[in-house]
Chains A and B, each alone.
Chain A
Amino acid sequence: MFKSCKKWLSMTLIICLLVTTLAGCKSNKEKPVDSGEKANTETSEKKEENKETDKKDPFAKYQPIEGKTYDIAWTSGQLAPTDENAEMTQYWNEKWNVNLDIWNIDSGQWHEIINLRFATGEIPDKVRIIGFPTLKKYYDQDLLAEIPEDLLQHMAPTLYKYHTTDVPGALSYGKIDGKLYAIPHYSISANYRRPVVWRGDWLENVGITKTPETLDEFEEAMYKFVKEDPDKNGKNDTYGLSTTGLNAVYGAYGFLPYNWKTRDGKLVYGGVQPEMKQALEKLSKWYKDGVIDPEFITGENKGGYSHISHSFVTGQVGYTSHGFYYHWRPQMGEDDKDVIGHNIQELLKTTPEVVDSLIFGLPPVGPEGKRGVPQETIVSGIFDGLGKHLEEEPDKLGKLLLIFEDLVANFDNFITARQGMEGKHWEWQNNMPVRLDPYTDGKELSKIGAMPVMTLISPYDYESKLLPLRIKFANDNQFDVGGIREELLAPLESQGKYKTELDKIQEETYVSIIIGDKPIDYFDTFVEEWYKSGGEQLEKEANEWYQSLSK
C-alpha cells in the first residue's frame, strides 16, 4: 500500500513538473492581445515628431493621424449581442473611419467574463466600468489610461460642457487622486425619487379625503387600511404596507437604514443613527397590530420583472414605494407611445379601474419635519474609461475622445447613437421620437448596434427631448421632492473586509426588531456591535473620502 503510494506520488510529481514547465514556456509567450497592434508600428515614427510639436501645442500629439483607420475595441452595455456587421456599427465605422470591434459580453456574467479577458491580456480601447468598486479595482490593477481633464475639455467640449453644467462636480467621481480616469454616467431619472403610491379608492373607502402628508396621517391611513376593509370585500385580508413602504417611515425620521448621509458636516451611516430606533419602535408596533404584511421579509416582488410590486398590484397592500417613477407612469393621452409603467401594465390586466384612482403623494413628514424615500445617486456608478495602452498611443486616445464628443455633439447624433436612423428605426410623431417596430424592443436596437451599445452620457437637454412624457409625469407629481440619496460614492478600503458582515447583522437586527423577536432596546446593542465590527473604520474612511471630495 505504502509502496504504491510512493510510486504514485513520484509519478504525479514528475508529470506535474513536466506540465508546469511546459505551461511555463507557453505562458512566457503570453502577450497582451492588443487590439491596435497594427497601429503600433506606425505610431512609433510619429512619436518622434510629437516631441517637437509638444512644446508648441500640448494637445498636438493627441491629434489622430489623418486618413488612418483605427481599430477600436469597444465594451459597453448590451441588452442583446450586437451582430457582427451590425447596421449602426457600419454607420459609425464609415463616419469616423474606424473599425469598431464590439465585444459581446453577457450581462448576466459581466464581471466574470470581462475579468477573464482582462486577466488573459485582452484589454479593450473603450472600457465600460460598472460599479464604483470596479473603477477602483481597475485603477489599482493599472488598466485605465488617464484622461487629462483639460484634454477632455479640449477634445470633447460639448460633452464636458454638459457634464459640468448638468451635474456640477460629477466628474470628480471619476477621479482618483485628483486625476480623471473615467467619465461617470448620469441620468435625468436620478433627479426623481422612488414613487409614493396610494390606492386612491382605498383612501376614499375608509373616509380619508386628503392624501396623508404627515407621519401621523400616514399612520392613521395604514391602520384604516387594515381595520376598515378598504377593498370592501367583507374579508379581513388587507395590509397597510410591505417592504418598500417601510422606507417612508425611516425617511420621516431623517435617514435611510442603508445609506450614508451627511450630518453636521460629517458622513454618517443611517442604519446606526438614534432616529432609526424611533422608526423601528413605530414599525414594530405596526407589525404587532397587523399593519405590515408579514411577507415584507421576502419582498413585494414575487418573481419575473423585479420592479413590479405584486403585493400592491394584487391588492394586498394599499401603499408602496416599489420601482422607479417610470414604472408607475400611466398612459398620457392617445399620442403616448412611450412604454407604460410595468406596474400599470399589470394593473390593466387584472383591475384596470384601479389605475385611475392611484394617487402619487409625497413622503410623509415626520415629527421633526423630515421626510424622504430613496433616490438614485447623482452619478449612476457606470463609467466609460480608456484602456491603459492608449497612454502609449496618444493619437488613438485623442481619436476616442473625438468619438465621445461626436456621440453627444448634437441631439441628432445622440438620438442616432441611441435609437438608430430616423425614418428607419424611429420617426418623429407630435414632437416625440417614436421607435418603429420591431425597434420598440431594446434588444433589437442592441442587435443593430444602437442603444445601449453606443450610448455615453445622456445630457438632460437631450433626454428631455427624447422622453418628454415621462419627465412631465415625474415633474407633475413632484417626484423631485423628498428624496434621500446615498452620499458615499466610492468604495472604501475596508469595505470588502467588513461590509458583508455588517449588512448581515443589520438585516437580522432590523427584521427581528420589527417582527418582535428582539426588544427595541436591542438596537443599542446592535449599534455598539456595528461600530466594533468594523463600522468605526468604515466611518473613518468614508469621511476621509468625503474630505478629499471637497478639496
Chain B
Amino acid sequence: MSKDMKIKRKNKIKHSIPSLIFDSMNYLFMIIFCVTCLYPFLFLVSMSLSAGTSNFASLRLIPEVIDFSAYRRVLSNEFMVSGFINTVIRVGIAVPLVMLAIVFTAYPLSKKYFPHRGFWTGFIVFTMFFSGGLIPSYLVIRGLGLLDSIWALILPGLIPAYNMIIVRNYFMSLSPDLEESARIDGANDFTILIRIILPISAPIIATVSLWTAVGHWNAWFDSMIYIQKASKQVLQVVLRRIVLEGTQEMMDLNTGMDDMASISPDNIKAATIMVATIPILLVYPFVQKYFVKGIMVGSLKG
C-alpha cells in the first residue's frame, strides 16, 4: 500500500460521521474489555506483592505495601527452578518437532492428488474421538521405556489432529498456481513445501506454534503420570501443588495430616502463578509479528 493511499483512507474515515461514531465506540469497547481482562492479573500481581496482608477473598488491586519476599521465596524453591528448566526444555523440543510433524502430515493431506486422502484424514480424525484410554497408553509408554523421560511428554502428542487439520485447511486454501509454476521449474515436493508454501503460511504456522507452545507449557497431567522423579517434574505440576494446597480440591487427602501441614500463604500462591505464567505470555508479541497484512499478496484462492 502506498503512502498517499493510506493518507487518503484516513482522511476518508475522518469525514464520515457514522464511521467516527463506530470508531469511538469500538475504542471504548476495547478499553473496557481490556480492563476486565487485566483485572485478574493485576489482582494476582497485587496479592503477590502484598507481604501476605491480602488474600484470595479480597478484591483489592493495590497492595498496602510492596514487598518482593514472595517472589524471592518462590524463586528459591528448588522444585520451581527445576520445573521451570524442565518446562523450557520441553517446550523447546516440542514446538519445532511438533510443527515439523504437523506440516509433514498436513501437506500431503492437503493435496487432492494424494492417494486415499479421505481415508488417511479419517484415519487421523478417528483418533480424536476413540482412544484406548489411560491404561493402554501408559503401557505403551512404559513398553517403550519412556517413563521418566521427556519423550513421554512429547511423543504421545507429536501430531495433534486438531492443529494438523487447521494447518491442512490453510494449505488447501492456498492458490495452486504458485506450486505449479515451481513444479515447472523442476522443484520437488520438499522444495515446494519449504521454499514456497511455508513462507506464505507464516501466520498459521505462528499461530499453531503458539498453541503448541502454550499447550506444552500448561500441560501437567501427562507429566504427573509419566514422570515419577521429582527432579524431572514440569513447572505446572509444581504450580498446581502450591496453588491447590489447602483448597477444597485437596481436602480429601489432607484429612489426618492437615493439622501439621503448612499451607502456603496466598501471596506465595499468587507469586507462583505469576512466575509460571509471565514467560509464556511473552511469546505472543513474537507471534503477532507474522500477522502482517499482505504478507502473501495473491497467494490465496480468490
A adjacent to B, CB under 8 Å: yes
A113 touches B225 (CB 8 A): yes
B251 touches A84 (CB 8 A): no
A304 touches B55 (CB 8 A): yes
Could you list 12 further interchain pairs (A-B, Cβ under 8 angstroms) beyond the known A80-B79, A303-B57, A349-B52?
A8-B118, A11-B123, A30-B139, A77-B253, A80-B241, A107-B254, A109-B221, A116-B134, A119-B135, A324-B258, A442-B261, A455-B257
Can you list, as one digit per residue, whether each of B30-64 has a CB less than 8 Å from chain A (1) or not (0)?
00000000000000000000001101110000000
| Chain B, 79-115, CB within 8 A of any chain A CB | 79
A339 at the interface (CB under 8 A from B): yes
Which residues of B come within 8 Å of A, CB atoms? Answer: 52-53, 55-57, 79, 116, 118-119, 122-123, 126, 134-136, 138-139, 142-143, 221, 224-225, 228-231, 233, 237, 240-241, 244-263, 266, 269
A269 at the interface (CB under 8 A from B): no
Choose among A104, A187, A324, A380 the residue that contacts B230 (Cβ–Cβ < 8 A). Answer: A104
B122 touches A12 (CB 8 A): yes
Given contacts A11-B119, A120-B142, contact A23 B244 (CB under 8 A): no
Contacts of A308 in B (CB 8 A): 55, 57
Contacts of B126 in A (CB 8 A): 12
A306 touches B246 (CB 8 A): yes
Q: Complex: how many Å from CA A483 to CA B240?
A: 35
Which residues of A come within 8 Å of B, CB atoms? Answer: 4, 7-8, 11-12, 15, 23, 26-27, 30, 77, 79-84, 103-104, 106-110, 112-113, 116, 119-120, 130-131, 185, 187, 189, 301-308, 310, 314, 324, 326, 339, 342, 346, 349-350, 376, 380-382, 440-443, 447, 451-452, 455, 467, 470
A306 touches B247 (CB 8 A): yes
Offer 13 A-B interface pairs, CB within 8 angstroms, sorted by A.
A7-B119, A11-B123, A27-B139, A30-B139, A77-B253, A81-B79, A104-B229, A110-B253, A120-B142, A305-B245, A305-B266, A349-B52, A467-B259
**Main DSSP-derived SS at the B contact region:** helix
Choose among B57, B138, B250 the residue that contacts A108 (Cβ–Cβ < 8 A). Answer: B250
Q: How far is the CB of B105 from chain A (nearest CB, A)?
A: 17
Q: How far is the CB of A21 from chain B (nearest CB, A)?
A: 14
A304 touches B224 (CB 8 A): no
Residue of A nearest to B228 (CB): A104
Q: Complex: how many Å from CA A104 to CA B263?
A: 19
B228 touches A103 (CB 8 A): yes
Of the candidates A80, A185, A326, the one having the most CB atoms from chain B within 10 angstroms of its own CB is: A80
Q: How far is the CB of A326 from chain B (nearest CB, A)?
A: 6
A440 touches B252 (CB 8 A): no
Contacts of A112 in B (CB 8 A): 134, 225
Choose among B116, B225, B246, B250 the residue that contacts A304 (Cβ–Cβ < 8 A). Answer: B246
Contacts of B56 in A (CB 8 A): 302-304
Q: Complex: how many Å from CA A108 to CA B244?
A: 8
Contacts of B224 in A (CB 8 A): 106, 108-109, 113
Choose among A310, A339, A440, A443 the residue that contacts B57 (Cβ–Cβ < 8 A). Answer: A310
Q: Complex: how many Å from CA A288 to CA B113?
A: 74
Q: Complex: how many Å from CA A200 to CA B274?
A: 40
Residue of A nearest to B231 (CB): A84
Contacts of A307 in B (CB 8 A): 246, 258
B246 touches A305 (CB 8 A): yes
Of the candidates B126, B230, B237, B269, the one having the most CB atoms from chain A within 10 angstroms of its own CB is: B230
Of the candidates B221, B224, B269, the one having the most CB atoms from chain A within 10 angstroms of its own CB is: B224
B230 touches A82 (CB 8 A): yes
Q: How far is the CB of B143 from chain A (nearest CB, A)?
A: 6
Residue of A nearest to B136 (CB): A23
Q: Complex: how many Å from CA A109 to CA B225?
A: 9
Q: How far is the CB of B249 from chain A (nearest CB, A)?
A: 7
B259 touches A346 (CB 8 A): no
Contacts of A452 in B (CB 8 A): 257, 260
A381 touches B134 (CB 8 A): no
Q: How far is the CB of B123 from chain A (nearest CB, A)?
A: 7
Q: Complex: how many Å from CA A296 to CA B4?
A: 65
Q: Complex: how many Å from CA A443 to CA B245?
A: 11
Q: Complex: how many Å from CA A185 to CA B56?
A: 33
Contacts of B237 in A (CB 8 A): 106
Residue of A nearest to B240 (CB): A108
Contacts of A310 in B (CB 8 A): 55, 57
A302 touches B79 (CB 8 A): no
Residue of B nearest to A81 (CB): B230
Top 5 A-B pairs, shortest CB-CB distance: A303-B56, A81-B230, A302-B57, A304-B56, A305-B246
B246 touches A77 (CB 8 A): no
Q: How far is the CB of A464 from chain B (nearest CB, A)?
A: 13
Q: Complex: how many Å from CA A455 to CA B257?
A: 10
Q: Complex: how many Å from CA A503 to CA B254?
A: 23
Contacts of B246 in A (CB 8 A): 304-307
Residue of A nearest to B253 (CB): A107
Choose among A11, A302, A324, A451 the residue that contacts B257 (Cβ–Cβ < 8 A). Answer: A451
Q: How far is the CB of A287 from chain B (nearest CB, A)?
A: 23
Contacts of A305 in B (CB 8 A): 245-247, 263, 266
Contacts of B229 in A (CB 8 A): 84, 104
A326 touches B253 (CB 8 A): no
